[in-house]
Every structure is written in C-alpha cells, then in structure tokens.
Amino acid sequence: MHKIVQQGSKSLIESRIKRKSLLSKVVTDVSQLIPHFQNGHYVSMGGFAGTGYPKVVPIALADHVEKNGLQGKMKLNLFVGASVGPETEDRWAMLDMIDRRYPHQNGHHIRNGINNGRIRFADQHLSTFASDLLAGYYTIDKPHGSKRTMDIAIIEATEITEDGSIVPGASVGITPEILQMADKIIIEINTSLPSFKGLHDMVKIALPPYSKPYQITRVDDRIGLEAFPVDPEKIIAIVESQLPDNTSVGAPEDDTSAGIANNIVQFLIHEIEQGRLPKNLLPLQSGIGSIANAVIGGLSRGPFDNLSVWTEVIQDTFLDFFDNGKLKFASATSLRFSPPGFNRLFNNWENYKNKIILRNQAISNAAELISRVGCIALNTPCEVDIYGHVNSTNTMGSKMLNGLGGSGEFLRNSRLSIVHTPSTRPTKTDPHGISCIVPFASHIDHTEHDIDIIVTEQGLADIRGLAPYERAKVIIENCAHPNYKPILMEYLESSRQICLKNHMGHEPHQLDKAFKFYTNLSEKGTMKIDKW
C-alpha cells in the first residue's frame, strides 16, 4: 500500500498545501478510502493522453478488487478527458471494473473489453465532452443521487494554493469541470514533480444561454486562472503520490514517417511561395503517435521560423522545435513526453515554462478558436477512401481502436486540414497486406468536406476545389502504394462507367464491390484482390 514519503520531520506534501486548513484532509493509508467507491458509481479522473492522471488511489482500488475477488462485482462508470495510464484504466478493464467509459481510451484490455461487448463505450468530440458532461447528458440514467453530478472525482495536482485552488500537473483535460460537478473529491499531490503553477490557463465553462465568446486571438493569450477553485467541503482526502506518468519512448523515425514529413514540408514551402501561407505558417496542430511525432520532427528541421502551436498534446519532438529556436510558443491541454522527454523538460524548466500554456480541453479543442487562429491540422487516420472520407476509429468498420479524440474539431475547423498515413500496413502474411487508401472507408469519422490534403510516403494529394472523380484520381495516383494503385484505378474507372450509364455518376461506387478489400483481408490475410 502506498504511504506518504517523509523527509525529516516535515513531509513534502505539507510544502505543497499552502492552505493549511486542508492539512487535516491528508490521508496516509489509502485503504481507508476504498469504502467511498461503490458498485455502479460514476467516477471521473483528471488526466489527458496518458499524463497528469491520478495513480495511487486507482491502483489501490484495483489491488482491492483483485485481492478480494471482486472482478465484475465492483464496476464503475469512468469519465476522463481522454486516456490515462495503463496501470489505472487498462488494469481496471482487465479486472472487469469498468461498466461505461467515455470519451476516449487507450490500452489492450480496455479495447478488448469494448470490442467484446463487456464495456459500454462511446467516443465523442473532445471539445464538447466537458460541456455535455456538465449539462447532464452522460448522467441521465444515473440510478442514484443527483442527475447532474459525479459521485467521486480523483485528480492529480502539483500544488494547492493559499485560497484552496488546485494547480494541476502535466495536463488539464476536464479537470476544471469535474471539480465543479463531483460530490466528493480526492486530490493526489505528486511531489515528485515541480509545481506547475503558472503553466495553466483554466476557464469555468458557461453553458448556453450564458456562454460567451472566448477572448483569444493569439496562441499565447490568457483568459483564465493559473489554479482552479474547489469547494473545500467536497474534498474527502488528499494523498501524496510520487508515481510518474507511465509513458513510453515513441517509435523512432523510419523511412515511411520521414517520407511523409518531407512531403508535408515541401507542400508548406510551396504554399508560402504561392502566397497562401505566411512565412511563419499558421499555428500547428498535431495528433499523437509516432508518425505525428516524426512529422513534427521533420517540420522542426524545415526552413520555417517564428512558429506557434495550437494543439491538444505536446510530444518529445516539440522540445527540439523549442531548442532550435524555431518554435516560439505552444498552447495545449497536455504534455505527453517520454520519460527522457520529461527529464529534459524538468532539467530545463526555466527555459520551457514560459513558452507553454495548458488549457481546458474545451478551450484547446474549441471550434471557435481553431477557426479563429487558423490552425494547420495534422492527424493520422486508420484509412482514407478514394473520395477523401476518413476513418479514424473503427478498423474493418467495427473494431474500436481508441476513439475520435480531437481530430474531428481540428479537421473540420482548421484553415488547412491534413491527414497523413502510411500507404500500407502489414498483416501477418503480407508486409503490404493492408492498404490505407481504400475504395470506400469501412467507417467514416470525417467526411470529404473536411479534408484538404492527404499525405503518404508515396506523395501528397491536394484535393482542395476538386470534384469527386478528380479527387479520386489524384488520391490514387499520388498516395496509393504501387501494389494497390492499378487495383484502385480499375475500381474507379469501372464504377464511373457503370454509374454514368445510370445517370448517377457524381461520386461513383459499386456497392457490391466497394468493400471487397475487407472481405479479401478477412479470408486471405491481404487486401490484394485477384480481380473485381
């Protein structure tokens, strides 16, 4: 069981609690908190993209369930801004502790639970999740207590200020909202981290008809609070943590990701030359993952200066961007660094801390602000079809990966919407068994109307202003892998001939053949069909 770490006669936690009346809330044995959690409770956690999440109490809950054989008997409804660490939600899923989960997740066991029908999951646009939660949309069927509250919120903080306000750590997510709506609050103060005070800009979200425009026009504008107020009567415990975020080192840049990055860099250079972008571009947004990380690394080595970032998550290669002097400021809701990346951050804290703002995800992902600052969005999907429809969530049309995340608001509202993906992915029997360019996407998260640019290591398709048939030709020609290019072109041309004869040739498809890539993959382990 996790215990408070003492240094001499005074614990580290005392130095982080500036409101001394709250010292009486400090709990050294977290086992006494277990009875506050009951089967069917609605539980919310701070954290976003696997950082800044509570660990001590969720791990203690999992230990309790495992020790006492309560798997499937103590199931909680879990609400987090995005994903948290595998030692928390993924272990909960392994122990059958999750009934419902919203709106984004990550982990082998939780993904299996969702796809096996054991966990009821729904993804949602991250920009609207917090306000929908406050409005009671996710607690309509709550069988006990208020229909507009969470039973318990668990958050990680790095300091409590003199007035009792909470300073989060490496992420904000929906922390401000769950502090407002929780009946009970448990705060884990992570004393292994420096205080992040000054890094955050948090806002209390007003619901319609009282909502107002967010007064932000630049990525470094501040409109909120460095620490978020909380009703001290709701705090049932404060626990010390020294557990790190369970992040990992991303995959190294390879030829594929380098090729994608180079294609994007060359496109942006061309846009500057044509006068469609300023020399310092527009604020960059990047999704998460190894490809996105490599793309940002490529941009950091490109011929661009005085850049800014408006995004959800800042990853390791952003530090390179800061260090070479090309990136001036970044706004996000989460810092998701690898362990070496976090060490680099903390070792150079004074250099980085004034170049970053962390906001509520309702602000970092707000459609209003994405459109106003004019983002260049860069996101990695599962697949793209020949007309520019994008699948970010469900492989084979049915199998959930992680969830929509923030890709929807950025791809719909950015000045330039770019999706980048390898042209193929391997199967067990074929290194190019899955084509990421398909005739008809098996699931559609982002329509053809939201996408401007599609990029693979093969090339780049600029589909702005093109009719569907024109789009399909340039996507196939520029982005498809050579193994699939003739197959896709044959599908397009035969579909067009058939549909034109029937006076339905705007966006030609053959519905009896459109999903043959997937049936062939299921039957033969590859999308390489012999014939249509």
Averages of pLDDT over runs of 10 residues in the chain (532 residues) are: 36 94 96 97 97 98 98 98 96 98 96 98 96 95 89 98 98 97 97 96 95 96 98 97 92 89 96 97 90 85 94 94 96 96 94 96 97 97 98 97 95 98 97 98 98 98 98 98 98 98 98 98 97 94
Distances (CA, A) of 405 to 2, 48, 123: 32, 11, 7
Let me know if residue 524 belongs to a domain.
Answer: no
Let me know if residue 361 belongs to a domain.
Answer: yes
Neighbours of 523 (CB within 10 A): 8
- Do 326 and 391 lie in a common domain? yes
CA 422: distance to chain centroid? Answer: 20
**Domain interval for residue 230:** 10-241
Predicted local confidence at residue 4, as pLDDT: 34
Which amino acid is it at 264?
I
| CA pair distance 231, 165, nearest whole angstrom | 9
- Do 261 and 114 lie in a common domain? no
- Do 459 and 313 lie in a common domain? yes
Predicted local confidence at residue 288, as pLDDT: 81
Residue with tokens 């006076």: 503
Distances (CA, A) of 93 to 119, 161, 186: 8, 35, 21
Predicted local confidence at residue 248, as pLDDT: 87
Mark which of 241, 263, 288 sits at the end of a domain.
Answer: 241
The catalytic position among 159, 240, 312, 383 is: 312
Active site residue 312: yes
Q: Which helix (H) or strand (E) holds 156?
A: strand 150-160
- Do 45 and 156 lie in a common domain? yes
Domain of 64, CATH number, reads 3.40.1080.10
Mark which of 241, 274, 293 sits at the end of a domain.
Answer: 241
Q: Share the mean pLDDT of the chain.
A: 95
- Do 333 and 468 lie in a common domain? yes
- Do 215 and 325 lie in a common domain? no
Mark which of 466, 481, 496 sits at the end of a domain.
Answer: 481
Let me know if residue 146 belongs to a domain.
Answer: yes
- Do 220 and 292 lie in a common domain? no
Predicted local confidence at residue 5, as pLDDT: 37
- Do 295 and 407 lie in a common domain? yes
Residue with tokens 């970032």: 309
Which amino acid is it at 321?
F
Number of domains into which the chain is organized: 2
- Do 344 and 451 lie in a common domain? yes
Predicted local confidence at residue 6, as pLDDT: 35
Q: Where does 274-420 have alpha helices with state H?
A: 290-300, 316-323, 339-347, 349-352, 361-364, 367-373, 407-413
Predicted local confidence at residue 146, as pLDDT: 85
Predicted local confidence at residue 2, as pLDDT: 35
- Do 163 and 272 lie in a common domain? no
3-state class of 208 per DSSP?
Answer: coil
- Do 182 and 77 lie in a common domain? yes
Let me know if residue 495 belongs to a domain.
Answer: no
- Do 228 and 346 lie in a common domain? no
Let me know if residue 385 belongs to a domain.
Answer: yes
